[in-house]
C-alpha cells in the first residue's frame, strides 16, 4: 500500500487541530446554496434517516451531473444484488434532484465534512458494504478511514484531472485505496497508470454520462408548452453560466433580426441566478417571461427564462437545436448527451475540456458544432433550424446515444463482482 504523502499528513493534521473551520465553511456553503437548515447536521455526519437492515451500497456523487450518471446504474445494481442504496451529494441542487429521481427506497444524505468526528459518525451509522465514488470528489480522511474499516471501494467514471497532476504523491496514495477504478477515456487511464495504478486496474468502459437515463418528460407540461409555442422556431440554451449569457443574448438579438418569431428558452445551470440574469443589460430590450413566476409564453415572448428544476425533459422536447453552456467561460463544458438523447444538434463554445473526447466524437458524427462567440452562435442557430438535413442529424444523434448503452452494463458488472467478492464487508 502506498504511504500517505507529507502534504496529506499536513492536511490531516491541520484539519484535526481546527475542525471548526471545516464546520464553518460547510455551514456557509449550506446557507448560500439554500439548503434545509434541518439537514445541516448531515454535513456533520449526523444521520437524518435510519440505516436499513441488510446490504447497503453507498454512492457519492458530488453534484448534478455525477448523480444523473449513476442513478439507473445504481438502481439496477441494487435490484440485481438485493441491496439498499445510499446516495450522498455535496450540493443542494443535487439533493433536490435526488429527491425527484432516486430509485424507490433509496436514501439521500449530504456528504459529511472531512473531519474525524463527522466521518466516523457517518461511517459508523451507515456501515456501507461498498462505497462507490463518482468521478473525482475524493476527501482524504473519508477515503482513508473508509479503507481502514475494510469497506470495498470503487472510483467510477473518473476523468483526467489537473489537480492530480499537481499533487501526484497525494493522489497516488488515495487511488491506491480503491479496489476498482473505471475511467472515462484512455487519457484518464494513462494518468492513473502514471500515478502508480497497476496497468490492468483502470478499466475504460467509456463515459457513464453517455448511458444515463433521459430526463423525465412531464406530458402535461410539454403539451402546454407545445400549445404556447405553436409552430414558432425554438432554440434552447441549457446549463448556462454568467460567462455564457451575454454571448447567448447577443446571438438571440442578432437572430431575431432575421427571424422575428424566433423563441429562445434559456435554462441556467443554477436557477437561483434568475435575478442576476434578469438584470443583464441585454435583457432590457427583450420581451421575456419567467417560468418560476408561472408566466407563460405568448406570441410576443422572445425569451423564456426557464428557472426551474425537473423540467429539462419537457424543454429539450421542444427544439432540435441546443446550445450547452459552461463552454464560453472556465467551467470546461457540460454533459452533451442529454440533448443528443432527444435528437438535438448540440452547439457549444470553445472551452469543453471536461468532455473534450465526447464533443470530438459527436463532432465526427455531425451532431455537435463549436462556435467561437455569440455572433457565430446566432448564425449557427439559424443555419441548423433551417438545414435540409436536420432530420438526418437528429436521427444520427439518437443512434449515437443508442450505441453507448453498453457502458453502464460493463460498469455494473464490475461493481457487482466487487460487491459479491466481499460478502461480509461492512464498516
Grid cell 446571438 in the structure block, residue: 251
Partners of residue 242 on adjacent β-strands: none
Alpha-carbon span 110 to 92, nearest angstrom:
8
Alpha-carbon span 228 to 224, nearest angstrom:
6
Alpha-carbon span 362 to 161, nearest angstrom:
22
Count other C-beta atoms under 10 Å from residue 61's C-beta.
29
Mind giving me the DSSP string for 389-425? THHHHHHHHHHHHHTTTHHHHHHHHHHHHHHHT-TT-
Count other C-beta atoms under 10 Å from residue 73's C-beta.
24
Q: Residue 294: exposed, middle, or buried by beta-carbon count in 10 A (0-12, 13-18, 19+)?
A: exposed
91 and 33 Cβ atoms separated by less than 8 Å = yes
69 and 97 Cβ atoms separated by less than 8 Å = no
Beta-strand ranges (E) seen in 330-371 are 345-348, 368-370
- Copy the grid coordinates of residue 297: 409564453
Size (the chain), residues: 427
- Does the annotation mark 245 as catalytic? no
Q: 42, 66, 245, 361: which one is catalytic?
A: 66
Partners of residue 104 on adjacent β-strands: none
Spatial CA neighbour of 160 closest among 139, 187, 195, 138: 187
**Catalytic center residues:** 66
Amino acid at each position: 500500500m502506498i504511504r500517505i504523502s507529507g502534504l496529506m499528513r499536513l492536511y490531516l493534521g491541520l484539519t484535526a487541530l481546527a475542525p471548526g473551520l471545516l464546520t464553518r465553511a460547510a455551514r456557509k456553503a449550506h446557507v448560500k446554496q439554500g439548503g434545509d437548515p434541518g439537514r445541516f447536521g448531515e454535513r456533520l455526519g449526523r444521520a437524518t434517516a435510519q440505516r436499513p437492515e441488510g446490504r447497503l451500497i453507498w454512492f457519492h456523487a458530488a453534484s448534478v451531473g455525477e448523480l444523473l450518471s449513476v442513478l439507473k446504474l445504481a438502481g439496477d445494481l441494487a435490484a440485481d444484488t438485493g441491496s439498499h442504496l445510499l446516495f450522498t451529494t455535496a450540493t443542494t441542487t443535487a439533493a433536490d434532484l435526488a429527491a425527484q429521481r432516486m430509485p424507490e427506497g433509496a436514501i439521500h444524505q449530504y456528504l459529511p465534512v472531512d473531519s474525524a468526528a463527522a466521518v466516523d459518525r457517518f461511517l459508523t451509522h451507515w456501515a456501507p458494504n461498498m462505497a462507490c465514488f463518482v468521478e473525482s470528489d475524493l476527501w482524504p480522511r473519508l477515503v482513508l478511514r473508509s479503507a481502514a474499516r475494510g469497506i470495498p471501494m470503487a472510483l467510477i467514471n473518473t476523468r483526467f484531472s489537473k489537480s492530480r497532476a499537481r499533487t501526484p504523491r497525494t493522489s497516488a496514495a488515495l487511488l491506491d485505496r480503491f479496489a476498482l477504478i473505471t475511467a472515462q477515456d484512455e487519457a484518464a487511464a494513462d494518468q492513473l497508470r502514471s500515478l502508480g495504478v497497476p496497468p490492468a486496474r483502470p478499466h475504460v468502459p467509456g463515459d457513464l454520462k453517455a448511458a444515463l437515463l433521459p430526463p423525465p418528460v412531464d406530458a402535461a407540461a410539454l403539451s402546454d408548452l407545445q400549445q404556447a409555442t405553436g409552430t414558432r422556431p425554438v432554440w434552447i440554451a441549457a446549463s448556462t453560466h454568467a460567462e455564457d449569457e451575454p454571448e447567448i443574448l447577443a446571438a438571440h438579438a442578432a437572430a431575431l433580426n432575421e427571424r422575428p418569431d424566433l423563441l429562445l428558452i434559456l435554462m441556467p445551470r443554477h436557477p437561483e441566478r434568475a435575478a442576476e440574469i434578469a438584470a443583464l443589460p441585454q435583457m432590457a430590450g427583450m420581451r421575456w417571461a419567467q417560468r418560476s413566476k408561472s408566466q407563460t409564453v405568448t406570441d410576443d415572448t422572445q425569451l423564456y427564462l426557464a428557472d426551474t428544476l425537473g423540467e429539462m425533459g419537457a424543454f429539450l422536447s421542444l427544439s432540435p437545436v441546443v446550445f450547452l453552456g459552461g463552454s464560453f467561460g472556465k467551467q470546461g463544458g457540460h454533459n452533451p448527451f442529454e440533448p443528443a438523447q432527444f435528437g438535438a444538434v448540440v452547439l457549444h463554445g470553445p472551452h469543453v475540456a471536461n468532455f473534450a473526447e465526447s464533443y470530438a466524437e459527436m463532432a465526427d458524427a455531425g451532431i455537435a458544432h463549436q462556435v467561437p462567440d455569440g455572433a457565430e452562435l446566432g448564425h449557427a442557430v439559424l443555419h441548423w433550424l433551417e438545414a435540409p438535413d436536420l432530420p438526418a442529424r437528429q436521427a444520427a444523434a439518437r443512434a449515437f446515444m443508442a450505441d453507448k448503452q453498453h457502458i453502464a452494463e460493463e460498469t455494473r458488472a464490475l461493481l457487482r463482482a466487487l460487491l459479491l467478492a466481499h460478502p461480509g464487508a461492512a464498516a
